Amino acid sequence: MKKERMLVKVNQPLLKGNEKKNLLSCLKDNSISSTGKFVIEFEKKFAKYLNRKFAIAVSSGTAALQLAVESLNLKKGDEIILPAFTIISCILPLIRLGIKPILVDSDLRTWNMNVDEIEPKISKKTKAIMVPHIYGLPVEMSKIIRIAKKHNLKIIEDSAEVLGLTYNKKKCGSFGDVSIFSFYANKHITTGEGGMVVTNDKKIAESCKSQRNLCFNTKRRFSHNRLGWNFRITNLQAALGVAQLEKISYFIKKKRFIGKFYSKNLQNLKNITLPLKKTKYAENIYWVYGILAKNISHQKKITNQLFRRGIETRPFFWPLNKQPILKKMGFFKKVKMPIAEDLARRGFYIPSGLSLSIKEQKYVIKNLKKVL
């Protein structure tokens, strides 16, 4: 009898709502560039969903981070505190603007930044804390807010991975002076590529709107008083976003179902650590289903054997203090982040996208048990 073999992608979107209808509407109206009704509608509905005053749609989550940092009008030599364990997108605007990144290590239980390390690293030059919520659980925001208020710091909240997640019943993305989201194809809602900046501050919103559109002078087009970016989102992308946002409640339920199903069926396996199900302030939304192996060789063995069985995986983020390009540029000499480095070496995640079927999930579970 021939052995069953499937190809299970690590993360694929679910496009079963009004996506096609909205896209066809764009084509019918010839409204495919960055002007159109769906851009406006997407921004309004997204702001309402998060109970924020302003939402500015952009071309990616990385673009959103760039605009968010620029909107704070920081100076060269100012400092921003952020975790080592995050995607490199978080540090890019700091480097480009000459802002010094100050790293903190991770919490081994939640995989988020260790909030207790922040205050000792605050200096006279510290202006903000960048807070990325990692893999499905939020950072302990009550502590972040207390520290920020005490030291008069801004909060840049990176909620790219946690749309729909709540911290003490309040949505992530509503805590920052400026917060951002990503709509890449593996996120909770997707526009293919895309992002959003949200804020309650009118000046921040106006800065982001201007910066995303090359800082055109409002009185004289093609005249510029500042250097900006072309970070515009298209009406086609926003059309997808509107349709996807309509399904966000279902998407959250499905993500949690996937995570809980994995945890129930993998909980008795030895030599691996499963993600934390919940904390006192939040229930895991399982953007990805992460697993920690015993060590780096064990991680490589598991992922290689899963790959041979047609199951895609991805490693955890590689910490910023170990990034080759940043080391080459002179950053983080002799900086050690033991927890972040440990997570990076041992961590990987298994298929957990919104289009994952029960059959595919059972196949992943069966084969993971075989390779352990």
Q: Which of 245, 279, 305 is the last residue of a domain?
A: 245
212 with 333, same domain: the answer is no
Name which of 19, 87, 63, 36 is nearest 212 in CA terms.
63
In a domain, residue 9? The reply is: no
Concatenated DSSP letters for 71-100? TT---TT-EEEEESSS-GGGTHHHHHHTPE
In a domain, residue 6? The reply is: no
Cα–Cα dist 276/137, whole Å = 8
In a domain, residue 361? The reply is: yes
264 with 194, same domain: the answer is no
Using alpha carbons, list the distances in angstroms from residue 261 to 163, 270, 290, 326: 21, 18, 13, 39
In a domain, residue 183? The reply is: yes
314 with 341, same domain: the answer is yes
Residue 27 one-letter amino acid: L
224 with 346, same domain: the answer is no
94 with 226, same domain: the answer is yes
pLDDT at 220 over 90: no
77 with 186, same domain: the answer is yes
Cα–Cα dist 339/106, whole Å = 6
Tokens describing residue 290: 């992460």
What is the band of 22 on the pLDDT scale with cuts at 50, 70, 90?
Answer: very high
199 with 210, same domain: the answer is yes
Average pLDDT, the chain: 97
Cα–Cα dist 82/100, whole Å = 10
Range of the domain at 157: 19-245
In a domain, residue 13? The reply is: no
- The count of C-alpha atoms lying within 13 angstroms of the C-alpha of 115, restricted to the half-sphere facing its C-beta, is 16
What are 243-254's pLDDT values in tens digits? 999 999 999 999
In a domain, residue 192? The reply is: yes
The dihedrals phi and psi of 54, each to the nearest 5 degrees, come to -135, 140
What is the band of 219 on the pLDDT scale with cuts at 50, 70, 90?
Answer: confident
What are 189-209's pLDDT values in tens digits? 999 999 999 999 999 999 999
Using alpha carbons, list the distances in angstroms from residue 270 to 81, 294, 323: 36, 10, 31
pLDDT at 1 over 80: no
In a domain, residue 185? The reply is: yes
69 with 136, same domain: the answer is yes
The per-residue pLDDT for 340 is: 98
Name which of 194, 170, 176 is nearest 58 in CA terms.
194
146 with 292, same domain: the answer is no
Q: Which of 245, 274, 291 is the last residue of a domain?
A: 245
Rounded to an integer, the average pLDDT of 295-323 is 98
What is the band of 343 on the pLDDT scale with cuts at 50, 70, 90?
Answer: very high
User: Which helix (H) or strand (E) covers residue 296, if one does?
Assistant: helix 296-308
Tokens describing residue 151: 């030291």
Cα–Cα dist 28/35, whole Å = 15
User: Which helix (H) or strand (E) covers residue 198, if one does?
Assistant: strand 195-199
User: Looking at residue 271, which CATH number applies to its domain?
Assistant: 3.90.1150.10
In a domain, residue 5? The reply is: no
Q: Which of 227, 245, 263 is the last residue of a domain?
A: 245
